[in-house]
Amino acid sequence: MVERSHKPGPISATTASSLPQAQVNVSDDNSKVTATIPSGDTVEVLLYGATIISWKSNGTENFWVSDAAKLDGSKPVRGGVPVVFPVFGPPPKNHATSSLPQHGFARNSRWEYLGKSTSESASDDSVKMDFGLYSAGLSEEAKKAWPYDFGLVYSVTLTKGELSTILTVRNEGKEGFDFNVLLHTYLRIKDISTTTISGLLGTSYVDKVLDARESTESNSDLRITGETDRVYKSLAQDTTTVVENGSPRFDVVRKNFRDTVIWNPWTEKAKGMGDFEPKTGWREMLCVEVGSVAEWVRVEEGESWEAGQTIKSLV
């Protein structure tokens, strides 16, 4: 065999291990899980309430968290994405949830970190983290107030420019139960006075500021001009868009959730909340909260139910 003087060298294959890797870290005090993907996007999840307290994409923080928010487990977090379950708002009288605190127990229970899964390629780098809450892990007070056997798995997936959150509710007991669920998302915006919301036109809503009066949205681009607390019911389209200065800022895409709550406390209500700081913070936040809250969701013995959202940062 003749040796070639300029024979090609061996081809070096790019292995998965040589690609940039998603990183997931649990804090030293086991209170928080942080994930970073090769694009530089990050997410932080507090195990207290499985509350997302930060999501950064393209160097920009997308969630608003109060400067006075308690992150030590002493009370629900004001800001980020608290998980509301199994009741929304003050519990109704003569209902299975009537002994529970406002917004239920999920947002002020400690969740378990169940682990991660990753996907790394040139076009799609992402990381998914799972968190669990089970009836056995509740406080004795919560078990007594709501004595059902259940399991919650909350999946948080970080992809470049997107954050997806999916909640699975399993009935692990012998009797069915009803629940509400809401992802109480506080979006960070530049200025509420130049922000509008599209995707709500023609939707029936309950206005909690006006004694639960029911109306139909007549604005294609809703502008917030005062205290706002509305439950938009059974939206016809899956995407709600937050627009800043005429440019889309966020798409909030619902998956199997029926309703969307729009909330901003405005001046006076913000002043009255001890954990809302700065008091002018209402100018830089807007809650667009997907959920199923206008009616009860029911799961029977052995059944499960799943819903979620994807938030897309458009800058």
- Binding site membership: which residues? 78, 102, 107
Peptide bond into 278 cis (omega under 30): yes
Per the annotation, where are the binding residues for substrate?
Answer: 78, 102, 107
Residue that has been written with the tokens 């998603």 in this structure: 22
Sheet architecture: strand order including 32-36: 23-26, 32-36, 42-46, 51-57, 60-61
Task: Judge contact between 253 and 312, C-beta under 8 A.
Answer: yes
- The residues that are catalytic are 184, 289
Cα(81)–Cα(158) distance, integer angstroms: 14
The 3-state DSSP class for residue 266 equals helix
Cα(220)–Cα(199) distance, integer angstroms: 7
Cα(216)–Cα(180) distance, integer angstroms: 22
**H or E segment and range at residue 189:** none
**H or E segment and range at residue 298:** strand 285-299
Burial class (CB in 10 A: 0-12, 13-18, 19+), 284: middle
The structure tokens listed for 254 are 């619902």
